[in-house]
Amino acid sequence: MDEREIELEGYVERDGKRVAITAAYASRLSLFVNFNRGAEIADGIEFNRLVLNIADEEVEFCKCRFILERTRRGFMGRLIFMDDVYDFENIIFKKKFVDISTSFHNLPLVLSQKDQIRDSFKNYTSKVVYDLAVHKYFFDDLDRKYANESEIVRQVAQKILIEKEGRKFMHFFDSTLKDLEREIADFDKKDHQSHGFYFRKQVWEFILGSEFLRRTNLKPRGYAGDSQMMSMCYENDYRGNFVFNKLMHKHPLETEAGHAVRNRRVFIPHVLRRVQKEFSGLPRWGFRFMSVACGSAVELQDLFMTADDSEVFHCTLFDQDIRALNEAKEGIEQIAKTREIGSKVDYLNESVRTMLRNPQLFERWGQFHFIYSMGLFDYLTPPVAKKVLKKLYDLLLPGGQLLIGNFHINNPNRYYMEYWMDWVVYYRTEEAFADLLDGIHDAESSIFFDETGIQMFLNVRKSA
């Protein structure tokens, strides 16, 4: 049964009389209701309280009103609540009692956090806020002036504005980040957390104006680095209607960290071809490779170029996020169609954490000539990263290779990411990266970098 169809028993009470009901989720703030034993209730009738049986407990809700309406699934109508705002999504599906006062519980604590913020940081923040507001005002003013022009005239005007004043704004923004680095130079982890939180609350309006920054902060899929954010990064173009928003979207994509992400898209197909050449004489679709935490696997667009080369590879794409796998599938089907090539791809919707718990998964998957993972180890603690690395190593065929990516601790955009994007990753030094090889003995390994020096790669070859 779909969890939306869960039905709860209970009663409503009016002037001391109870009427038995069956209720179900209608919306976050309201419930569908049926009055049992044929009770006829008029539209607008109010009850003093509702009691529902949730997970074997009686839970009481405040005064509610019956709204007669034709509903899906044959309910008589809806109950809306008069004295309190409840979150039925949490109450029914997660069995967590949440009303409006619960979400305000932390308010005093969060408000008091500003007392821990250093005065010089407050000054820095208010200067940034003022300067950005003034820039926005100037750009918005010009946007308004040509708002009534035809689309083509507007586009050309915006392009000129972006190339001239926009570029100056990008440099100005860079300078605010240099000041930020100076301001936070002696902070520890706790200081970064409290000051980052404070900072984002002040610049929230600017964050929301940028499609990229909005997504990294709101994390609609629950984590930073989802396939949509990666697509924006690969696309590296302007998005938004207004010039200021376009600039605020593009600036974070132009960072060296952004280049480092784009570099791996080009690098992976190159390595795949090189490793594949080491295994000559394999049948059609004979070279097996896997991308772990594949996201939308855009790099494969540069691998499956012709019918000849795509028929060499049998590819396995593994990700915990079904939306990312669907995007990967659409992308591959699209190129297969336009380039008139075949492809052999398996999709595995699993988490590396379940992979660690369930050894049978490996037996099902078989072994691979090449396994790579980009943008995953940056989120794994050393104990988990070691276990994942060992499992992946065990999945290699003799002579096969592993290629793992991790951002280096010297990422110059680290605090831009943490303060503006709320994007915190697990940075590693070369030593810490090499330490992950702990339980792997019969391997040849090396560590190297892309040209930005941010994207670090660990290459491991299993002896033949």
Ligand X SMILES: C[S@@+](CC[C@H](N)C(=O)[O-])C[C@H]1O[C@@H](n2cnc3c(N)ncnc32)[C@H](O)[C@@H]1O
User: Which residues would be at the binding site for ligand X (CB under 6 A)?
Assistant: 225-227, 230, 264, 293-295, 319-321, 324, 351-353, 374-376, 379
- Closest CB to ligand X among residues 78, 387: 387
Q: Compute the distance between CA of residue 69 and CA of residue 76 in angstroms, rounded to an integer.
A: 6
- Closest CB to ligand X among residues 311, 319: 319
* C-alpha atoms less than 13 angstroms from C-alpha of 408 in its C-beta half-sphere: 19
Q: What is the DSSP letter of 29?
A: T
* C-alpha atoms less than 13 angstroms from C-alpha of 38 in its C-beta half-sphere: 0
- Closest CB to ligand X among residues 248, 374: 374
- Smallest separation (angstroms) from ligand X to the CB of 376: 5
- Closest CB to ligand X among residues 64, 233: 233
- Closest CB to ligand X among residues 143, 378: 378
- Smallest separation (angstroms) from ligand X to the CB of 324: 4
Cβ-contact 370, 272 below 8 angstroms: yes
- Smallest separation (angstroms) from ligand X to the CB of 12: 44
- Smallest separation (angstroms) from ligand X to the CB of 369: 19
Contacts by 93-98, CB closer than 8 A, 24 or more apart: 93/3, 93/6, 93/25, 95/54, 95/55, 97/59
Q: Tell which residue, 433, 364, 356, 380, has the closest CA to residue 402.
A: 433
Q: Tell which residue, 226, 291, 240, 237, has the closest CA to residue 265.
A: 291
**Residue 220 tokens, joined:** 């609609």
**Residue 116 tokens, joined:** 């821990």
- Smallest separation (angstroms) from ligand X to the CB of 378: 7
- Closest CB to ligand X among residues 162, 229: 229
Q: Compute the distance between CA of residue 417 and CA of residue 422 in angstroms, rounded to an integer.
A: 6
- Smallest separation (angstroms) from ligand X to the CB of 299: 7
- Smallest separation (angstroms) from ligand X to the CB of 24: 32
- Closest CB to ligand X among residues 197, 426: 426
Q: Tell which residue, 242, 257, 199, 256, has the closest CA to residue 378.
A: 257
- Smallest separation (angstroms) from ligand X to the CB of 388: 8
- Smallest separation (angstroms) from ligand X to the CB of 439: 20
Q: How deeply is 126 buried, as exposed, middle or buried, from its count of CB atoms within 10 A (0-12, 13-18, 19+)?
A: exposed
- Closest CB to ligand X among residues 143, 418: 418
Q: Compute the distance between CA of residue 24 and CA of residue 9 in angstroms, rounded to an integer.
A: 9
- Closest CB to ligand X among residues 198, 289: 289
Q: Please list, in sequence order, all residues whose beta carbon lies within 8 angstroms of the beta carbon of residue 320, skipping any fewer than 6 positions away.
A: 293, 349, 350, 351, 352
Cβ-contact 88, 31 below 8 angstroms: yes
CB nearest ligand X: which residue? 295
What is the three-class DSSP state of 263?
A: helix
Residues facing residue 25 across a β-bridge: 31
Dihedral Cα 324, 327, 328, 331, nearest 10 deg: -160
- Smallest separation (angstroms) from ligand X to the CB of 212: 14
- Closest CB to ligand X among residues 371, 376: 376
